Structure formats: structure tokens, C-alpha cells
Amino acid sequence: MSKMGFRTDVGKRRADNEDALLVLPKYDVYLVADGVGGHNSGELASRKAVFGVEDFLARNPIEAAHRAERPDTALMEYFLRCFREVNADICAMAQANPANRGMATTAVLMHILRDKLFVINVGDSRAYIVRAGGISRITADHSVVNDMVARGELTEEEARVHPRRNEITRALGAETSVMPDFFMTELLSGDRVLLCTDGLCGELSDEDIRGIVSRGENLNDTCRMLVNSANANGGSDNITVVCVEV
């Protein structure tokens, strides 16, 4: 059994909210997306991702992957196919209307199957596990500054304030082909899994996030505290969080 909370907020400096989220407890599937693009195209892209994933789940029963001889591999293939379909749909929408050219969205999705967590991501929206007072970042940002950190050109702290910190290197809809990352890890009772857009982790350090997620009892209150803290630190972007406790 799991309990959950979620929240999205426009932040303090944006006129529109281009984030979107998907909460599907019946499938144990959760997703956050952060749209990019001119005019309202970012909003269209993130919502297309949400609707596309939900539609894929409805058309392709996930139970077949659960019953496979190797469910870990079957689930990886299942969600890779899902993201590829969504990517094609966003690309088609952008091609159909010149006003939507350049639209794209990050996406990070998690699925819980018994004692295992599966995460698939594209872009710089993140997944974390908070366990026994500690925090682990599951995903690696597909971003210019994260590549620079990996090469030893920047520290994590320098990356947080670098002028190119918002430049992503992969997104759904950015190219006709997409290369998501896929992660699988064991879960323990009491683990809290957090999905968030960069409006949260751009304002709060991992340690800040750990402290809030660790102490909150009600997960909707936890999500509210995360959003309020990000806004208190500047709220420079839209903020979206989903938190699930195993």
C-alpha cells in the first residue's frame, strides 16, 4: 500500500504554469512534466505528455509486463515504447502548427511494482528517494550544466547558479527520436519517492528537500511545504511535485 501527495504552482515570476502532473494510483504510475517552447507551446507539450501516457496505459495493459518471464525487462520496454509514442505525438503536433515549432517537455515517470521502483526520464525533472533520514537522487539531469559537472568543469554548487543551468539536452518532442534513461531500484517500507520539476530543485538543495520530505507526516502537507519553500527562495519557475510513500 502507498500514500501520496502532489502539488503544482506557477511560482512567483511566471505568468503561466507550463508544468503538468499525472497521478494514477490504480496503475501505481506517477509523472511530472515541464514544458518548454514559445507562447503556450510548453503548456501544450507537457499536457500532451500527460494525456499521452494515460492513453498508452489504457490501450496497453501493464499487467502483461508484470506477468512476463522477466518483468524488469518487460517494463523497461513498455515504458520506452510509451515515451517514444508520446515523443512522436508531440513532434507531430509541432509540425502541424507553425506556432508550436520548438515545443517540447521534460518528463520523469515512476512505477512501483511490489518492492521495486522503476523510473524513466527525459530532461532535467528529477526523481529522489528519501530513506531513513537520507536522500538519493535517482535520475541524472539531461542538461548542459550536468554534462559540465560530469566532466569536472563545474561543481554542483556552481551548476546551480550557472547562466546555462536551464538549458536541457534532451526532451520529449525535441527530436524525432528520443533516448530516455531507465532506472530500477529496490524499495523498503517507509521510503518516500519524490518526483519534481526543476522549479523545485532549482531553488532548494538536495539537503533542503531531504529535510522537508523527512519530517512531513501528511504528504499533501509535505508537497505544500516544498512548494512554499521554493517560492520563499525566489520561485523563479513553475513548481510541481509528486510524493509517494511505500
Cα atoms in the Cβ-side hemisphere of radius 13 Å centred on 37: 31
Q: What is the pLDDT of residue 202?
A: 93
Cα angle 114, 4, 128 (rounded to 5 degrees) comes to 75
Q: What is the pLDDT of residue 22?
A: 98
Q: What is the pLDDT of residue 156?
A: 85
CB environment 157-174: b (16+ within 10 A), e (fewer): eebeebeebeebebbbbb
Return the CATH class of domain 3-245: alpha beta
Q: Where are the domains of the chain?
A: 3-245
Ramachandran bin of 55, using left for φ above 0, alpha for ψ from -120 to 50, beta for the remaining angles: alpha
At 81, which helix (H) or strand (E)?
helix 71-96
- pLDDT tens for the chain, 246 residues: list them: 569 999 999 999 999 999 999 999 999 999 999 999 765 699 999 999 999 999 999 999 999 999 999 999 999 999 999 999 999 999 999 999 988 989 999 999 999 999 999 999 999 999 999 999 999 999 999 999 999 999 999 998 888 888 898 899 999 999 999 999 999 999 999 999 999 999 999 999 999 999 999 987 899 999 999 999 999 999 999 999 999 999
Q: Which residues pair with 22 in a beta bridge?
A: 31
Cα–Cα separations (whole angstroms), residue 17 to 71, 111, 142, 144, 200: 36, 25, 21, 23, 14
Q: What is the pLDDT of residue 160?
A: 83
- Residues in Cβ contact with 228 at an 8 Å cutoff, skipping those fewer than 6 apart: none
DSSP class of 143:
B
Q: What is the pLDDT of residue 165?
A: 86
Residues 222 and 212 sit within 8 Å (Cβ to Cβ): yes
> CA 220, CA 142: separation in Å to the nearest integer?
28
Q: What is the pLDDT of residue 216?
A: 76
Q: What is the pLDDT of residue 205?
A: 95
Q: What is the pLDDT of residue 114?
A: 93
> CA 35, CA 46: separation in Å to the nearest integer?
5
Q: What is the pLDDT of residue 217?
A: 82
Residues 97 and 107 sit within 8 Å (Cβ to Cβ): no
Cα angle 23, 28, 29 (rounded to 5 degrees) comes to 50
Residues 57 and 83 sit within 8 Å (Cβ to Cβ): no
Q: What is the pLDDT of residue 188?
A: 97
All three cell numbers of 120, joined, read 524513466
Q: What is the pLDDT of residue 192?
A: 97
